């Protein structure tokens, strides 16, 4: 039938054939999609840095850690939906698959609406707690309040994309983000250059593009012919499915928020060095973001591949999937991370022409970007554990290995006068990545051994 051929064109059989080839088929569109999503923020930062000044640049750039902190718990639920969709799809459990799709999309709208209200109300108080520089707090608050109005769209898109990834479809989200990304860039230029709207203009451009991408992914699901078809009459929350999503997704969301919380503390420490360092740090973070999403595509791939193979009973492929993913993420992290540092000066010139801002950005890239492969390796092990259905364990490990250690680093080591530098702050990243990766790897080995003893796999 034509509808079957259409489905096959977009889905990937993760349980048969070459693992490397199919990982790349899955990851490459996801990398492109994630890069386009980064352009939403990068376009904001570049446009305001060039046409609205360094204070506007700092105002937009410094909001990233706050946005992540407030959204990660809910975004984690999309991981739970992704794992369940992959498992039920591979196991051909159509009834549970349909329930998962409709529960997930209903939850996305509820979570997005809550975040829109909470984010708008709490924006200034959170920025004040973060010691946002007085000269930019007004602009930061305005940007954050407008940005959070797009939360329902952001949640709907990400949950919808997670459902598509569960069946191996990473192409259509790429198409949708390509279109909405172009809209975002065009509106940025119009609102900032023509109408002189500064941070309000880039925030408005971002949320318009988010609503476009959300509409496209929802429309895609409503026109599907497979088990992931979205139908209005089935929208609602199935309690049993929601509990399964929460069991896998909530620890993942808490883990993400714990990471973001530690990053908020780090951002607050960076803020204490003034607007120039904040601007340079923000620009460097945006450059590193492109390296991160390239690595993170393989972390997301390993979740879906491990979950599908577990659902299909192809246990012998799981270790091969994890090993191949680690090879890919290490190569990508080293090549792009070191490359970002070597090309740091011309890249940072895209964000600002201020020599002091560029120097501040290079200081961050020299420490964090060149060691970014460690972050990708750590995330791959987390993805493998989540794909096996273990989500609490990596959350606890991350709490201890990343968050607690970073807090100790900032509140103890950084407070020593001779080490009270921005470079000391940056070293917290590679140290905690290394420790946490080693612990996650040990946990994965123990889980697989337990599975072998219990199930003979």
pLDDT in tens, 288-343: 988 998 998 999 899 999 998 988 888 889 999 999 999 999 999 999 999 999 99
Split at pLDDT 50, 70, 90, the class of 136 is: confident
pLDDT in tens, 233-251: 999 999 999 999 999 888 8
41 or 252, which is more confident?
Answer: 252
Query: What integer pLDDT is reported at residue 4 of this predicted model?
Result: 38
Give every CB contact of residue 90 below 8 A, 6+ residues apart in sequence.
14, 15, 307, 308, 309, 311, 312
Kindly state the percentage of the chain with pLDDT values over 90: 46
Mean pLDDT of the 30-59 span: 75
- The least confident of 68-72, 222-226, 251-255 is 68-72
User: Whole-prediction pTM value?
Assistant: 0.79
Question: Is residue 110's pLDDT more than 90?
Answer: yes
Contact 435, 400 (CB under 8 A): no
Query: What integer pLDDT is reported at residue 129 of this predicted model?
Result: 80
Query: What integer pLDDT is reported at residue 455 of this predicted model?
Result: 59
pLDDT in tens, 275-294: 888 888 888 988 898 899 89
Question: Is residue 204's pLDDT more than 90?
Answer: yes
Query: What integer pLDDT is reported at residue 9 of this predicted model?
Result: 62
pLDDT in tens, 3-33: 333 444 678 888 888 999 999 999 999 888 8
Query: What integer pLDDT is reported at residue 40 of this predicted model?
Result: 64
Mean pLDDT of the 407-431 span: 86
Query: What integer pLDDT is reported at residue 45 of this predicted model?
Result: 73
**In whole numbers, what is the pLDDT of the chain averaged over residues?**
87
Q: Tell me which residue has tokens 């070191």.
A: 338
Mean pLDDT of the 63-67 span: 73
Query: What integer pLDDT is reported at residue 434 of this predicted model?
Result: 94
Give every CB contact of residue 36 below 8 A, 6+ residues apart in sequence.
174, 177, 178, 181
Kindly state the percentage of the chain with pLDDT values over 70: 94
Question: Is residue 457's pLDDT more than 60?
Answer: no
- The least confident of 67-81, 163-177, 216-230 is 67-81
């Amino acid at each position: 039938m034509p509808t079957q051929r259409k489905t096959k064109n977009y889905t990937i059989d993760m349980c048969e054939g070459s693992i490397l080839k199919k990982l790349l088929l899955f990851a490459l569109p996801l990398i492109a999609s994630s890069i386009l999503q980064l352009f939403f923020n990068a376009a904001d930062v570049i446009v305001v840095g060039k046409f609205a000044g360094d204070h506007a640049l700092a105002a937009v750039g410094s909001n990233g850690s706050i946005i992540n902190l407030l959204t990660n718990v809910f975004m984690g639920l999309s991981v739970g939906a992704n794992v369940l969709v992959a498992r039920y799809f591979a196991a051909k459990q159509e009834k549970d698959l349909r329930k998962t799709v409709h529960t997930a999309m209903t939850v996305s709208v509820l979570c997005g609406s809550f975040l829109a209200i909470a984010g708008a109300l709490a924006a200034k108080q959170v920025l004040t707690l973060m010691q946002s520089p007085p000269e930019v707090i007004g602009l930061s608050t305005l940007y954050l309040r407008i940005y959070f109005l797009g939360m329902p769209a952001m949640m709907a898109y990400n949950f919808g994309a997670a459902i598509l990834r569960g069946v191996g479809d990473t192409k259509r989200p790429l198409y949708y983000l390509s279109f909405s990304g172009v809209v975002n860039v065009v509106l940025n230029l119009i609102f900032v250059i023509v109408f002189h709207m500064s941070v309000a203009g880039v925030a408005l451009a971002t949320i318009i593009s988010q609503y476009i991408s959300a509409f496209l992914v929802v429309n895609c699901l409503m026109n599907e012919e497979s088990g992931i078809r979205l139908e209005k009459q089935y929208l609602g929350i199935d309690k049993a499915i929601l509990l399964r999503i929460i069991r896998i997704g909530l620890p993942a969301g808490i883990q993400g928020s714990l990471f973001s919380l530690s990053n908020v503390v780090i951002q607050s420490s960076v803020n204490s060095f003034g607007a120039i360092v904040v601007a340079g740090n923000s620009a460097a973070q945006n450059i590193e973001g492109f390296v991160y999403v390239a690595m993170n595509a393989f972390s997301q791939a390993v979740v879906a591949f491990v979950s599908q193979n577990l659902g299909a009973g192809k246990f012998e492929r799981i270790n091969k999937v994890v090993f191949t993913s680690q090879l890919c993420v290490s190569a990508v992290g080293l090549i792009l991370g070191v490359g970002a540092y070597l090309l740091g000066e011309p890249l940072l010139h895209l964000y600002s022409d201020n020599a002091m801002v560029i120097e501040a950005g290079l200081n961050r890239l020299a420490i964090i970007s060149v060691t970014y492969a460690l972050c990708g390796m750590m995330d791959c092990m987390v993805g493998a554990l989540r794909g096996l259905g273990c989500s609490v364990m990596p959350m606890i490990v991350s709490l201890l290995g990343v968050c607690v250690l970073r807090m100790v680093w900032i509140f103890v080591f950084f407070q020593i006068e001779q080490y009270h530098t921005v470079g000391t702050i940056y070293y917290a990243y590679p140290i905690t990545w290394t420790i946490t990766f080693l612990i996650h790897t040990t946990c994965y080995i123990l889980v697989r051994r337990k599975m072998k003893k219990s199930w003979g796999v």
